[in-house]
Structure 1
Amino acid sequence: MGLGWPQAWLLDLPTAVVYGSLTLFITVLHNVFLLYYVDTFVSVYKISKAAFWVGETVFLLWNSLNDPLFGWLSDRQFLSSQPRPGSWQGSGGGSTPCLCGEEAGNITLGQYLWQLAHHRNFLWFVVMDLVQVFHCHFNSNFFPLFLEHLLSDHISLSTGSFLLGISYVAPHLNNLYFLPLCRRWGVYTVVRGLFLLKLGLSLLMLLAGPDRPGLLCLFIASNRVFTEGTCKLLTLVVTDLVDEDLVLNRRKQAASALLFGMVALVTKPGQTLAPLLGTWLLCFYTGHDLFQQSPLTPVGRAQPWPEPPAPPPVQAPTLRQGCFYLLVLVPITCALLQLFTWSKFTLHGRRLRMVKAQRQNLSQVQTLDIKTV
């Protein structure tokens, strides 16, 4: 009786409220872990570099494989009795997929992967998205480090917390503005504009140098905001890839869960590469190893006049400079790579409209087949 009323109340909630609440709690848990786990394991628990790499490797394997595994389990029933893929044939109005085909029996996972390996837009997209995932998680993992070594002498703790909160909330608010832009100009154009904006802001910050606290605050926050905002828009591109996969291979039903899983398989390693490559670059450039611990003096060996430690001002500028160059050169490199790969992506404009029209035609043909049977 005690649990009956809350359970009935929960069952009466609208689906949107339940789904939104679940997403909120998962996002809070994920972001808190993502922001602090590197600093916690390295600075608080002081684990060794080898243990950190082993943990990241295990995380990489499971994090990359679980999505395509669950996607295959979800969509394998839709991939049975598929016709042979049609081909793109030229016509006076451009290339169109041929809708003719013969029944080819069940499609195995290997055959599906072979089809996906020949899906050109999918390949260019996952390369671009791998860089995007890397950059998003790099910003999250090293946000506390940048605040500590670049801004701790210029801003208060509350201001740092405010910057952190803004960097997580603003991307959701930005999407309220980006989505109308996507409807007007197309997702491809908006995403390309965000890449150009990231490159421009990073070059401006590089020219300004590390001694502009106000500009640093603005850049650190905006870098996270626009990068996270781009990540949220890319889901729309994956849905277009699902449509193109459906049309190219003339599937009976879109294998959306499996294609989303295959995107995750290729791009989620960026989550592991971000902390590993970031700590390595910082150590390579400054000689400062985040995993290095000061040796403890053995009991009974303490000397009455120990050698004084090296004065902090000697090493602080080097570490600060390393953090600054890491802050600006990583987004510059990511933006250049993404602009190149995104320029090879052709599923926009006329081709996207053609794919949408062909998917509509396929849906109508399948509806007619069902009515005939």
Structure 2
Amino acid sequence: MLQILRKLFSAHKNIMKHLRISAHPAAVAYSMTTLGSSMMNSIFSFYYVKLFLNKYRISEAAFHQSQVVYMIWNALNDPLFGYLQDNSNIQCCSLRRLSILYGAPFYSLAFLLTWFPWRDYAPEDWLSGVHLVVTLCAFDGMLTFVLLAQCALFAEISEHHHNRVRLIKYNQVASLLGSSSVLLCGLVSNNMDNFAAFQGFCFLVAVLGCICMVYTGLHSEGRFDRKYSDTDSQQPALSLSSVITMTWQIISNRDFQLFVVMNFFQVFMLAFCNNFAMIFVDHLIPADVLPSLAKSFMYGAGFICPQLLVLSSQNLLHVFGYYRLILMTFYVEAAAAALMLLLGPNHHYCLALFITANMILVQSAFSLFGLPLADIIDADLEKYKRSSPLSSMVFGTNALFTKPGQSLAPMLVVAILNQYGYEDIKDGKVTEPSAVNALHNIMFYLICIVPMCVTAVQVIAWKPFSIRNSHTTDSKYTEG
């Protein structure tokens, strides 16, 4: 473990040294928040469901109640923080870099809340339900506050397509490094079997993540930062009617509506893959076919390879644009799921490959979603002749409709699995082969049928999207 930690620290020092001499300091500063957040987010999304279901042994009712509270908070905090960051007179809210700088320590502390139980939980302990509610709300609240500011920076650092593609390139490098935390965590903790090592690794990740985000807070700057700073003292607070009008203008945008529908199902799929990949693999692929070490690399590949795929497709982005590439991933996902369904659950290596590939495709497409949202922000700025873009409000309003997918996925899947005895089987209360086979069958059908149905809806929603050729236009207005 010590050798792995030394290598991680050494790699971090080398990265920081390289970043200081980079030719694109704005892109580096922007991507450091991605590096810190992806280290924490990858571990959180991958492990928290299994931790609370299998180790803390939370009841199904408490799990669902926690997810409902989380769904409501998750939807409301994005437009709330979006309004504050676009319209507040307080610089720690209105200046993107300061939102990241001051939010980073609280973000890291919220991440650590998950991994340290408040006592030795008995099965179906009420306190484990409270722990999950607090964990989800605190982590998502700080994640939203910090990453909403970073999303706004994406649109505000530059309005040129080639500069935004460069930001995505740096972002994917940072995400690639950050996502390796899942692989390293699996190796250090034997896929969470060594819980003390798992906790120690999470503490290290929280510290490194905070340092990375503070770097962004100290060195990043958007095109409109000076304007926010100069006008903060005399800028009047917006009336409720103005806020409602601006929100309606955003929601009434046809392209925004299409994007939101497509993005909702992508968020659902992302939660489905990240939260349940480990549970599905543990049940469907025997240990003698895929040992623990191989599973660690498989899980790591699901988080690392999406960034490699996006980085390798930079030329395709310039030539074909994000619209066609995103559409193509939907077709590939559906075809792969149909093929796996035809092969059946007994082709274990094919199943492992399919689960990994599906994680990669879903995350790869999701990594490009900043581009259509940035184009929607540009179109809104130009259409309504605004003095500055409503970046945070657009991202926050998008999240209002899409974030519930993060809660709906685990709620629906856990409810379906428990209908087939998952709660009793995982605790060893039921061992009959027929019950276990029924559970494994429903797991396999979920793995195949959910992607097929979701991508069908996404194709229908995404095809009419009209902003398809921003990659061919260098500039729509003069950058100031």
Normalising by structure 1, report the TM-score: 0.76
How far, CA to CA, are the matches of 1:241 and 1:310 in structure 2?
Answer: 52
User: For 2:386, what is the secondary structure of its paired residue?
Assistant: coil
Deviation at residue 340 of structure 1 after TM alignment: 0.6
Aligned pair count reads 310
The residue matched to 1:210 in structure 2 has which SS?
Answer: coil
Given the alignment, which residue of 97, 120, 133 partners 2:267?
A: 133
1:70 aligns with 2:81: yes
The residue identity in structure 2 corresponding to 1:47 is I
Deviations 1:76-121 (A, max 9, x none): 379xxxxxxxxxxxxxxxxxxxxxxxxxx97711101221232111
Conserved 8 A contact 1:60-1:268: yes
Compute the displacement of 1:257 (Å): 1.6
The letter for the 2-side match of 1:123 is Q
Question: Following TM superposition, by how much is the alpha carbon of 1:18 offset from its aligned partner in structure 2, in angstroms?
Answer: 5.6
- Are 1:271 and 2:271 matched, yes or no? no
* Residues 1:145 and 2:272 are matched in the alignment: no
* Aligned counterparts of 1:283 and 1:151: Cα–Cα separation in 2: 20
Q: Give, in whole Å, the separation in 2 of the partners of 1:233 and 1:338.
A: 15
8 Å Cα contact 1:150-1:320 kept in structure 2: yes
Tell me which residue corresponds to 2:179: none
Judged with a 3 Å threshold, the aligned counterparts in structure 2 of structure 1 residues 210 and 44 are, in CA distance, closer, same or farther, namely same
SS at structure 2 position matched to 1:186 = helix
Letter aligned with residue 36 of structure 1? Y
Q: 1:194·1:226 contact (CA, 8 Å) conserved in 2?
A: yes
Matched residue of 2:454: which SS? helix
Distance 1:195 1:251, change over 3 A: same
Specify which structure has the higher proportion of helix: 2
Deviations, residues 239-259 of structure 1 (Å, cap 9, x unaligned):
111112122222222211211
Alignment-derived partner of residue 290 in structure 1: 423
Which runs of structure 2 are paired with 1:4-153 in the superposition (5 Å)? 19-76=30-87, 108-153=242-287
Distance 2:426 2:346 in 1: 29
CA distance in 2, matches of 1:183, 1:311: 55
2:131 aligned partner? none
Match of 2:381 in 1: 246
Output the amino acid matched with 2:302: S
RCO higher in structure (CA 8 A, sep ≥6): 1
Q: Which of 444, 468, 475 is the aligned partner of 1:324?
A: 444
Q: What is the identity, as a one-letter code, of the residue corresponding to 2:277?
A: F
The one-letter amino acid of 1:274's match is: A
- Aligned partner letter, 2:87: R
Q: What is the identity percentage for the equivalent residue pairs of Structure 1 and Structure 2?
A: 32
How far apart are the structure 2 equivalents of 1:182 and 1:280? 40
C-alpha offsets along residues 110-158 of structure 1, whole Å, 9 cap, x if unaligned?
A: 1012212321110110010000000011001101111111112421111
CA distance in 1, matches of 2:29, 2:442: 45
What letter is aligned with 1:342? W
The whole-number CA distance in structure 2 between the counterparts of 1:77 and 1:22 is 22
Residue 279 of structure 1 aligns with an amino acid whose one-letter code is V
Partner of 2:434: 314
Q: What is residue 333 of structure 1 aligned with on the other side?
A: 453
* CA drift at 1:294: 6.5
C-alpha contact 2:321 2:471 (8 A) present in aligned 1: no
Q: Give the unaligned 5+ runs of structure 1.
A: 1-8, 79-104, 296-308, 368-373
Q: Distance in 1 between matches of 2:394 and 2:29?
A: 26
Higher-Rg member (1/2): 1
Partner of 1:198: 333
**Aligned CA distance change for structure 1 residues 291 and 62 (closer, same or farther; 3 Å):** farther
**Could you tell me how far 1:67 is from its partner in structure 2?**
2.4
**How far off is 1:293 after superposition?**
8.4
Change (3 A) 1:210 1:142: same
The answer to whether the 8 Å contact 1:68/1:264 transfers is: yes
Cα deviation for residue 59 of structure 1 reads 2.0
Alpha-carbon distance, 1:45 to partner: 1.2
- Which residue identity lines up with residue 303 of structure 2 in the other structure? Y
Contact 1:47 1:291 in 2 (8 A): no
Contact in 1 for aligned 2:330/2:459 (Cα 8 Å): yes
Letter matched to residue 461 of structure 2: T
Q: Deviations over 1:138-189 (max 9, x none)?
A: 0011011111111124211111111001111001111112232111001100
Hey, what does 1:258 align to over in structure 2?
393
Question: Is the 1:279–1:290 Cα contact (8 Å) retained in structure 2?
Answer: no
Counterparts of 2:473 and 2:244, CA distance in 1: 25
Q: In the aligned structure 1, how far is the partner of 2:369 from the partner of 2:353? A: 24
Using the alignment, how far apart are the partners of 2:46 and 2:54 within structure 1?
14
Distance 2:292 2:401 in 1: 38
Distance in 1, Cα, partners of 2:426 & 2:471: 58
Post-superposition CA distance 1:267-292 (Å, at most 9, x none): 111111110011123344xx224378
Counterparts in 2 of 1:245 and 1:183: CA distance versus 1, 3 Å: same
Q: Structure 2: give runs of 5+ residues left out of the alignment.
A: 1-15, 90-237
Change (3 A) 1:288 1:193: same
**2:340 counterpart SS class:** helix
In structure 2, do the counterparts of structure 1 residues 247 and 294 end up closer, same or farther at CA, with 3 Å as the change threshold?
same
Hey, what does 1:85 align to over in structure 2?
none
Map of 2:163 onto structure 1: none
Whether the 8 Å CA contact 1:282–1:326 is kept in 2: the answer is no
Kept after mapping to 1: 8 A contact 2:266/2:362 = yes
Given candidates 174, 177, 188, the residue that maps to 2:312 is 177
Contact 1:59 1:272 in 2 (8 A): yes
Instruction: Name the SS for the 1:253 alignment partner.
Output: coil
What is the rounded CA distance, in whole Å, between the counterparts of 1:23 and 1:311 in structure 2?
A: 44
Paired with 1:124 and 1:19, the residues of 2 have a C-alpha distance of 28
Asked if the contact 2:373/2:395 (under 8 Å) is kept, the reply is yes
Q: Which amino acid is 1:59 matched to? A: Y
Question: More displaced, 244-253 or 168-177?
Answer: 244-253
